[in-house]
Structure 1
């Protein structure tokens, strides 16, 4: 008999829903601008309203990342970043806050270490799971097995171009939530939210997804409120990374307060 996995990210989203709001999910790159500062920024983000943290693993060819995140991760890689830092950051933030902490990574970094080894180390660090933007469920056999073994969430992406069959496979394979991509293109702040965002949520829910969180382009409280009216969670990345770049952990905390409506 298969044990029931208790999803940390689903629990955080459900707790926010019980308060009558969408979950606020914040993204920061691991080790930017250095390991200790990235930990401080992550804690500030959570203490000022974030329900879930995404820790991005720096990658040399980030096809989905816009210029702000690309520049940050390029700096981290230039100083000699190692994957082991990610687990240290996840552990430090989890122990300090108790929050659900997800890793966001291109799958070949997991594959290079080995899906089982990566999942084991992430679970031991207290991590909730991982978002794998370039991995599709029908090519994820090893990752599905590893996340089942170690009780981790696994978040796949659904886009405006996803066919109903693809949306159903993503909904069935994801644990925690489905990551709804609101625009086609790279990450970055935008003045308005794409009309496609709501369509992705509706399509994912129709395909069986219990929770759908939307990201790419969110940078203002008005965006959070708009997306939060139809999605289960709102994901913010570039705006927070820019705040960290320009003002350090304090600026991240201040922006988090504004985005979460706590200021």
Structure 2
């Protein structure tokens, strides 16, 4: 299934797409795949986090998960193996969320080829302004990977115009000028931000950073085509709670979407 097909199918069902986040190696190798199996029935797309020691865009919940995975000695090649295991379970789009340093440490060409062969659909690169290294972005795309970059409430029209041509997967819209983390409500102004983004691209738009409950999911669905849920899932795992309750609540909030992506 392609990324656009996944968003279009959700749209045809009258809802925004749900994009849960799982971290490779958290809480341990083996357990991470069990978590994927719990999450997949709710997912239209899946975001897979590559643990990193300095995740500057992530709040404390995901930082703790990264640290735990890294303490177990998780390597990039093992993350690729995890993606391969997920791909054996589903044809849904899989997006690897990675900071740029692991890409450079492995070597961009080798990194992109490794994850393409593992079955990744695309990459989310939160700390790479795509216009800073368009050749690296092009290299990922030539390897067969879609690329997704972040925009924020502070993004000017000029910045949106510079970033969106590089978003061949979807546009990841950050709800706040800050780090990841569950919130009770999202800030006002998201519909206007998404409308500005749509002036420059026909790619689907997903909102992340703060989706944690029915209310925040409804806000996201009223503005965009999809919602990413990350910290709320990691926190539920930390607290020993089941994921189905969290995912069901968020999924209910995504019903009745008014996003404009038509496939």
Compute the TM-score of the two structures, normalised by the length of structure 1.
0.91
Structure 2 residue 70 is the aligned partner of structure 1 residue 81: no
Contact 2:36 2:86 in 1 (8 A): yes
Match of 2:256 in 1: none
Alpha-carbon deviation of 1:165?
1.6
Contact 1:171 1:208 in 2 (8 A): yes
Structure 2 residue 245 is the aligned partner of structure 1 residue 254: yes
Unaligned runs of 5+ in 1: 1-6
Alpha-carbon deviation of 1:209?
4.1
Structure 2 residue 140 is the aligned partner of structure 1 residue 112: no
Contact 1:160 1:199 in 2 (8 A): no
Mapping for residues 1-263 of structure 1, pairs under 5 Å: 8-47=2-41, 49-247=42-240, 251-261=242-252
Query: CA RMSD of the aligned region, Å?
Result: 1.6
User: Could you tell me how far apart the structure 2 residues matched to 1:170 and 1:11 are?
Assistant: 22
Which stretch of structure 1 is more off in the superposition, 161-170 or 122-131? 161-170
Aligned-partner SS, 1:64: coil
Aligned-partner SS, 1:144: helix
Alpha-carbon deviation of 1:198?
2.2
Alpha-carbon deviation of 1:11?
2.1
Alpha-carbon deviation of 1:218?
0.9
Aligned-partner SS, 2:183: coil
User: Could you tell me how far apart the structure 1 residues matched to 2:136 and 2:121 are?
Assistant: 14
Query: Aligned residue pairs: how many?
Result: 253
Alpha-carbon deviation of 1:33?
0.7
CA shift in 2, pair 1:239/1:146, >3 Å:
same
Which stretch of structure 1 is more off in the superposition, 251-260 or 73-82? 251-260
Contact 2:212 2:246 in 1 (8 A): no
Alpha-carbon deviation of 1:259?
1.7
User: Could you tell me how far apart the structure 2 residues matched to 1:72 and 1:163 are?
Assistant: 33
User: Could you tell me how far apart the structure 2 residues matched to 1:198 and 1:227 are?
Assistant: 8
Compute the TM-score of the two structures, normalised by the length of structure 2.
0.91
Alpha-carbon deviation of 1:93?
1.1
User: Could you tell me how far apart the structure 2 residues matched to 1:169 and 1:77 are?
Assistant: 34
User: Could you tell me how far apart the structure 1 residues matched to 2:109 and 2:178 are?
Assistant: 31
Aligned-partner SS, 2:58: coil
User: Could you tell me how far apart the structure 2 residues matched to 1:167 and 1:229 are?
Assistant: 20
Q: What are the superposed Cα offsets for residues 218-261 of structure 1, whole Å, 9 maximum, x if unpaired?
A: 1002211221122010111100111222237xx12332222212
